[in-house]
Amino acid sequence: MNALKQKTLDLLWEEPYKIGHWVGFKDLTELHNGWLRSFLFGSSTQTLLAHRGSYKTTVLSLFLAIYPVVRPAENVLFFRKTDTDVTEVIGQAEKILESPVMRKIVRNLYGVDLQLEKATGSEIHTNLCTSAKGISQVLGLGIVTSITGKHADVVVTDDIVNIKDRISRAERERTKMQYMELQNIVNRTGRIINTGTPWHKEDAVSMMRNVSRYDCYSTGLIGRDKLELLRKSMSDSLFAANYELKHIADTDAMFTNPVFSADETLLYDGVAHIDAAYGGEDSTAYTIIKRRKDGQIIGLGKLWHKHVDDCIPEIKRVHEKYRAGSVLCETNGDKGYLAKELQGQGFKVNTYSEKMNKYIKISTYLRQSWPQIVWLEDTDPEYIDQILDYSEFADHDDAPDSAASLIRETERGKIKVLDRRKLGIY
C-alpha cells in the first residue's frame, strides 16, 4: 500500500471530523469526531441524543457523504420527520461529496475520479458502488413514507420525534409504529443509528436502544450567558426538551393530554380572540372556538413571535379560512388601537376591559373547559405547548390567556356572534 493511501485511511479512521473543517464546519470538535467515528465504524445499533445547536445533524451529513466512499457496496436509508426535512440534510451531504477534499480522498483510495451518478436531494449514488443491488447508496425518506419492500445495511433516523409528538398522542403512536417497522428493513447484519431529542416519556425515543446523552451542560458548546438567554426565550418545557434532554413531569400540570381533530368544518361559525404583542418577549396569540350543542368546544390556536401589526394579514387569512365571525380583543393596553385597526380591515370587533387576575382566569375558565376542548390539528404546536407548560410563574402565557379570555366571554354570552350564513356570506 502506498504512503498516500495509508495516510488517507488513517485520516478517515482517526480524525474524519477534519473533513468537516475543510468543507467549512470549523466548530466541530473532538466530541464530534467521536460521534462521527461511531457512525462510520460502529457495528451495533446506537442512539445519540444531543441538545439543539450541538451540530449532530452536521455530523450526520458528514456521515452520509463519507459512508458511500468507505463502504461503497452498502446502502443507507435515512429518515427524518418529513420529506422536506430530508432534503436539507441530503443536499448538504451532496455538497460535501462534491468538494475538492472528498474528490482527493477518492482519488487517493481508489485511483479514480469521483462521480455522482445520482444527486437528487433525496438520493445519492456514486460510481464507486459495484453492488448488483440496483439501489442507491443513500436514500432519504420522510418517516410517514411507505417502506414496504425496502431493505438497508444501515438505517439512520434524525429528529423523527418533534414537538408534535409531545402534544399529540396520535402523532406519538404514528411515529412509534413507523419506528417499529424500521426494525424489519435492516439487513440481518445491519444496524440502526438514531439521533434526536426526547419530547415525551412515551414517544418513539423511549423505544431506542444503546442511548448516549449529551445535554447542554456536558458538551460545553454553549456558554452560560447564551444558555440563560435561550432559557428566557422559550417555555420551560421547550428548554428542558431541547437543551436538557428531559421531560417536565405532568404530575402537577394544570393541562395535559390535548385532544385533536382533523375536521375543520367543526370550527365554522366560531368566534375569535387576539392577545396582541407590541414588542419585547411577548407573542401574538390568536384563538378561535366554536361551542357545540353537545357541550364540546372546538378550538384553533396560532402563535407568532412578532408585533400584532405584522400578524394581521395572516390572522385575516386564517379567520377567513375557518369562516370565523366576531373577533374579541381587550382595550387595557392599547386604548382601543387594535380594535380600530381590525375594524378598518373589515373585522366585526367586540372589545372588553380586562379586570380579572390572569392566573385566576386561566386556572378557572380554561381549566374547567379543558376536558371539553378538541383542538384542530392545524393549531400551532407552540401554542399548545405554551398551554401545557402553564403555571402561575410561567414566563410565556399568551396562548392560555387568549384561550381563557375567549372561553370566559363566550360563556358569559357577551359576544355577538356573526352568523355568516344568515348574512349570505357563503
Q: Which of 124, 168, 144, 134 is nearest to 79 (CA)?
A: 144
* Residue at 87: amino acid letter: T
Q: How confident is the model at residue 250 (pLDDT cuts 50, 70, 90)?
A: low
pLDDT at 389: 82
The rounded distance, in Å, linking the Cα atoms of 426 and 416 is 19
| pLDDT at residue 292 greater than cutoff 70 | yes
- For 336-343, which contacts have Cβ atoms below 8 Å and span 24 or more sequence positions? 338/274, 338/276, 338/308, 341/309, 341/312, 342/274, 342/312
Query: Cα-flanking dihedrals φ and ψ of residue 415, to 5°?
Result: -100, 130
Taking all residues of the chain, what is their mean pLDDT, rounded to a whole number?
90
Phi, psi angle pair for 353, to nearest 5° = -105, 120
Give how far Cα 45 sits from Cα of 15, 213, 320, 359, 366, Å. 22, 15, 49, 47, 44
- Provide the pLDDT for residue 366: 95
Residue 347 makes CB contacts below 8 A (sequence gap 6+) with: 316, 319, 326, 327
- What the block records as the C-alpha cell of 282 is 411577548
330 closest CA partner among 247, 393, 223, 402: 402
**Model pLDDT, residue 225:** 87
Q: Which three cell numbers stand for residue 178?
A: 413507523
Q: Residue ranges of the domains in the chain?
A: 3-239, 259-412
Is the predicted pLDDT of residue 149 greater than 90, yes or no? no
Q: Which CATH number is associated with domain 3-239?
A: 3.40.50.300
126 phi, psi to nearest 5 deg: -115, 170
Cα 35 from chain centroid (whole Å): 23
Side chain identity at 144, as an amino acid letter? V
First to last CA, the chain: 78
**Residue that has been written with the C-alpha cell 426494525 in this structure:** 183
CATH code at 259-412:
3.30.420.240
3-state secondary structure of 345: coil
Distance (Å, whole) CA 115 – CA 403:
56
More confident residue, 157 or 281: 157
pLDDT of residue 251: 52
> Is residue 423 very low, low, confident or very high in pLDDT (cuts 50, 70, 90)?
very low
Q: Are 78 and 86 in contact (CB under 8 A)?
A: yes
pTM for the full predicted model: 0.73
Grade residue 424 by pLDDT with cuts at 50, 70 and 90: very low
pLDDT (mean) for 313-340:
91
**Whole-angstrom distance, CA of residue 298 vs CA of residue 160:** 28
What single-letter DSSP state applies at residue 304? E
424/128 Cα distance (integer angstroms): 66
- Asked if pLDDT for residue 269 goes beyond 80, the answer is yes
User: CA-CA distance, 386 to 283, in Å (whole number)?
Assistant: 11
Amino acid at 220: G
User: Does the pLDDT at position 416 exceed 70?
Assistant: no
Average pLDDT over residues 184-191: 92
Identity at 411, one-letter amino acid code: E
The residue that leads in pLDDT, 28 or 354, is: 28
CA–CA separation, 146 vs 125, rounded Å? 21
Pick from 190, 394, 379: nearest CA to 300: 379
| Percentage above 70 pLDDT, the chain | 96
- Give the pLDDT of residue 417: 47
Indicate if the pLDDT at residue 237 is higher than 80. Answer: no
User: Is residue 20 helix, strand or coil?
Assistant: helix
Which cell is 321 given?
Answer: 379560512
Characterise 168 by phi-psi region: left (phi > 0), alpha (psi -120 to 50), beta (else): beta
pLDDT in tens, 304-320: 999 999 999 999 999 99
Does the fold of domain 259-412 match that of domain 3-239?
Answer: no
pLDDT in tens, 10-35: 999 999 999 999 999 999 999 999 99
